[in-house]
Structures are given as C-alpha cells and as structure tokens.
Amino acid sequence: SINFIKKSFRSFEKNHIINQSYLFFLSGDWYKNSLFSLRLNNVGSLVLSPLIKWHEHTKEAIKSFQMHKINNMWS
C-alpha cells in the first residue's frame, strides 16, 4: 500500500540510506494508479520497481528519476 511505501522510505531515511527528495517524489499524484515494489539490493541501495500500468508521462518521470538516481545518488 501507499502508506507502507511511505513508512518504508521514512525508515530508510532514518538510517541515512536515502534523503527526503525520494519521499517528495513519491508524494506526487502521478503514481497513484501504479504499484511499486521496494527491495534492497545486495549493496544496500534502495530499488524502486514499477510493477503495473502507468501513463506515458509517468513512465517518463520514472525514467528521469531512475537516471538521476543512477547518475547522482549511487555513483
């Protein structure tokens, strides 16, 4: 559920794995019809995986966010 996702992000944020920009990103209305899976990969980075249908602008937002994450957060 959305509340579970937000609670999970807050938990990780307390452990300084991610910052508030992730929570801000998730708080937008664009994702409300999509489902997401949160998991930790083998180096402890948070992975955000879209699971079901989304609109074109949502896919672009996800792609942009993922590129930002790859280029700036985990490098």
How do residues 8-59 score in pLDDT, each as one tens digit?
A: 555 554 544 444 444 444 444 444 434 343 444 444 444 454 433 344 455 5
Q: Do 18 and 40 meet the contact criterion of CB atoms below 8 Å apart? A: no
pLDDT of residue 39: 41
pLDDT at residue 21, as a whole number: 41
Domain that holds residue 53: 2-73
Return the pLDDT at 60. Answer: 62
**Global pTM value:** 0.20
Using only C-alpha atoms, what is the Rg of the chain?
12
Total number of domains in the chain: 1
Cα gap 45→27, rounded to integer Å: 20
